[in-house]
Amino acid sequence: MILLNSDKIHAHLADLNFKKPYELHCFPTIDSTNQFLNNLPTNQQLILCCAEEQTAGRGRFGRQWNSPFGENIYFSGRWRLAGHLKQLSGLSLVVGLAIIESVKKHTINEAILIKWPNDLFWQDKKLGGILIELNGELHGTIDITIGIGLNVNTSSTTSHLSDKPWCSLLDITGISFDRNALIADLIVILNHYLDQFLKLGFETFKSAWEKVDYLKNQWITVSNPNGKLSGYAQGVNEQGLLCLKDNQGTMHYVSAGEATLR
Ligand code: BTN
């Protein structure tokens, strides 16, 4: 088992020519990397946090994110970005694309797909999830925490992380990964994608996203605080909103929620 090592992550980031000023916190154990960053009083542009284990790892909708020691990636980044809240539509899809791109750099060429809006899937099993939290918007800057849980070295044949079908990079490839290198790649690609996203909008990512759309043409139900809506998933529009065609042929555009397949 290769443990997390902040010196190694710094060195990888230097090798990758990462120029943005940042602060990195690497913990053996923490309640939640997202919570840690949210609690920091900060004016920093970028603060990063990863941990070997989370004792209160958080998923979406108040769920728990199982985070055993030394095996997977529990990573969060708090970005202060120039922009406005209304520009964030489609953000989770862009984060998903950044995760796929960084995993590909480690010669994983399997079809990893994004289940709108926040989940990474491989062969109908969840590989990872994204939890984005907004800390505030002030004077044209947005302060967000992006949390990523990626199952890396936990084997689904010997461990139990979730009651729902799940998998890890180890399951996919049969190989154990050095999480330090993966995290460094993720930071660089994610930072680059975020810059591009704020400058040019979701539109520039749309065609890449269509290639990894897990729900495409499936009959799904989306639940959110407004209720439930069922229809055929027809990809996303230029704003990253899910296009859902109901039985009457009416198209609905959905910004958030949880999708379940029939
Ligand atoms: C989900 O699929 O429900 C989202 C899971 C997000 C988990 C990550 S692990 C790192 C960060 N810290 C947390 O407490 N949660 C996110």
**DSSP, residue by residue, 50-114:** EES-BSS-B-GGG-B----TTTSEEEEEEEEEES-GGGGTTHHHHHHHHHHHHHHTTT--S--EE
CB-count burial class (<10 Å; 0-12, 13-18, 19+) for 207: exposed
For the segment 115-130, the average pLDDT, to the nearest whole number, is 97
Per-residue confidence at 44, pLDDT binned at 50, 70, 90? confident
- Evaluate: CB of 90 within 6 angstroms of ligand 1: no
What pLDDT digit, counting tens, does each position of 173-197 carry?
A: 999 999 999 999 999 999 999 999 9
What integer pLDDT is reported at residue 95 of this predicted model?
Answer: 98
Dist. CA 73 → ligand 1 center (Å): 10
Give which of 84, 79, 187, 94 is closest to 143, Cα–Cα.
79
- The mean predicted confidence, pLDDT, of the chain is 96
Provide the pLDDT for residue 53: 98
Kindly state if the Cβ of 64 falls inside 6 Å of ligand 1: no
Q: How much distance in Å is there from the Cα of 256 to the middle of ligand 1?
A: 17
Percent of the chain with pLDDT over 70: 100
Taking 80 as the threshold, does the pLDDT of residue 239 lie above it?
yes
Query: Can you give the pTM of this predicted structure?
Result: 0.97
- The reported pLDDT for the residue numbered 107 is 77
Instruction: Tell me the catalytic residues.
Output: 60, 126, 262
State the pLDDT confidence band at 29, using cuts at 50, 70 and 90: very high
Ligand 1 close to Cβ of residue 231 (< 6 A): no
- 148, β-bridge pairs: 75, 130
What's the whole-number mean pLDDT along residues 110-121? 96
Q: Is the CB of 143 under 6 A from ligand 1?
A: no
